Structure 1
Amino acid sequence: MDLGLKGKTALVLGAGGGLGSAIAHTLASEGAQVAAADINKDAAEQVVATIQAAGGSAMAVQWDLADLEVIAPNLAVIEQQFGSVDVLVNITGGPPPTLVSGQSAENWRKYFDSMVLSVIATSDAVLPKMREKKWGRIITSTSSGVVAPIPNLGLSNALRMSLLGWSKTLASEVGRDGVTANVVLPGRVATQRITFLDEQRAKREGRSVEEVSAASTASIPVGRYGDPQEYADVVAFIASTRAAYLTGSVIRVDGGMISSV
């Protein structure tokens, strides 16, 4: 299946992580020119190196999502090399495990800026040229916690939830301009973030990581954690020309883990 991404410019935020890296590689394999952005420049450059080694087109961009002042200059660099952004994949880091109660106002502001405002501001920055071209994709990766709140991930559950309302509203505003906006939810996909959360849960509960992982696996109908590539394949389809009628949606890539309809 040709996804129609050849020559498109894709910006992947958080491209140095497990999900972001898989998405960047997959979009590049479909012919997109990928700007791999991450706060860790070395991680972004490693992703670019492997993409280029496979014959793809990519560039690395150091991007601190907590700093809104870097958006304009970073986009200018991308546009100079690849042209304006056609596909934006929003991936942010998650906050540390916490209760939702008793958090300081400073903590809420810190993670709101890096996890929510950064996504909105970057999307707003690329939207004018998408609308001008009558084609664009805004894809935001969040967490299964926005559907079924995850214990001890209070900040994440609350802040990521706001992105659902934003994305749904955005979809209604830009749909007639050929731009789609969708949210993708990972279940327990095997990344460093999930390993970290399993380790933290094991410490809290006085269990081994293997016991925690086994308990989580037992709650997943397909009987295993997901592969980042499986998540990336779904994102690539949403980014494609084939998905022009898919917008305002929340797509779960969770192996059936989320129990609600």
Structure 2
Amino acid sequence: MDFGIAGKTALVLGGSAGLGRAIAHALAAEGVHVAVAGRNTQAVEETCCCAWDKGVRCLPLTWDLSDPSQIEPNIARVEAELGPISILINNTGGPPPTTAQGQDPALWTAQFQAMVLSVITITDRVLPGMKAAGWGRIITSTSSGIEAPIPGLAISNALRASLVGWSKTLSREVAPDGITCNIIVPGRIGTDRIRFLDGKRAEASGRTQEDVTAEATRAIPMGRMGDPEEYGAVAAFLASRQAAYVTGSVVRVDGGLIPSI
């Protein structure tokens, strides 16, 4: 299927690895020129290597989302080198595992800047161009914790949930401009982040990481973790012309893991 987005420009935040890298590769496969942002310069360039192989332009950006001063120069560079941003993938790294109580307010503030305020500010910056074109896609990657809070991930549960309310509100505001806003929710996708969290749970419980992973996998109705490519494919569809009537939605890619309707 031709998604009708070849030649457009996408900005993928958190594209140096995992889900962000998978989304960048899926968009590049559709002929989208991609700017890939991440803190690790080498990892960002590795993501771009696959995109270059697909014959599209790819711009690696070393970008720390916790620093608001980097937003304007980086977006200006994308616009200058790749063109107006039509597709924005809001994807941020996960915070450290924490309980809900007893956390330093400075930690909450720092994570709010990196995970929430940066996303809102970047989106506001690219929206005028989308409105002028009468077309845009804003896709925000969150966590299954927005629907079924995950024990030990209090900051993630709270801050990612705030993005859901923001995205839904924004979707109604920009729908007349031909812009869609959707949330995409990963379950247990096979990434380094999941392996890291399983390792932390294993340490806390005195079990092996293999046991923790096997137990968590048994809770997935499909009986396996997802592949990052499967997640990237869903994001690419939400960016497509065929998804023009999908907005204000929360789309799960979880193998049936989340128990609620």
TM normalised by structure 2 equals 0.99
Residue of structure 2 in register with 1:222 after alignment = 222
Residue of structure 2 in register with 1:12 after alignment = 12
Residue of structure 2 in register with 1:47 after alignment = 47
Aligned-pair distance for 1:236? Answer: 0.1
Residue of structure 1 in register with 2:22 after alignment = 22
Residue of structure 2 in register with 1:211 after alignment = 211
Distance in 2 of aligned mates of 1:95 and 1:75: 24
Matches within 5 A, 1:155-234: 155-234=155-234
Amino acid of the residue matched to residue 94 of structure 2? G
Aligned-pair distance for 1:41? Answer: 1.4
Residue of structure 1 in register with 2:235 after alignment = 235
Residue of structure 1 in register with 2:84 after alignment = 84
Distance in 2 of aligned mates of 1:242 and 1:142: 23
3-state SS, counterpart of residue 59 of structure 1: strand
3-state SS, counterpart of residue 207 of structure 2: coil
Please give the root-mean-square deviation of Cα atoms over the aligned residues, in Å.
Answer: 0.7
Aligned-pair distance for 1:39? Answer: 1.1
CA deviations on 1:84-116 (whole Å, 9 max, x unpaired) are 100000110111111011111111101000000
Distance in 1 of aligned mates of 2:46 and 2:106: 34
Matches within 5 A, 1:26-175: 26-175=26-175
Aligned-pair distance for 1:137? Answer: 0.5
Aligned-pair distance for 1:42? Answer: 1.2
CA deviations on 1:108-165 (whole Å, 9 max, x unpaired) are 1010000000110000000011011110000000000000000000010011110000
Stretch deviating more after TM superposition (227-236 or 59-68): 59-68
CA deviations on 1:206-253 (whole Å, 9 max, x unpaired) are 111111111111110000000000000000000011100000000000
3-state SS, counterpart of residue 93 of structure 1: coil
Gaps of 5+ in 1: none
Amino acid of the residue matched to residue 164 of structure 1? V
Distance in 2 of aligned mates of 1:63 and 1:174: 27
Distance in 1 of aligned mates of 2:146 and 2:221: 20
Residue of structure 1 in register with 2:249 after alignment = 249
Amino acid of the residue matched to residue 31 of structure 1? G
Distance in 2 of aligned mates of 1:125 and 1:67: 15
Gaps of 5+ in 2: none
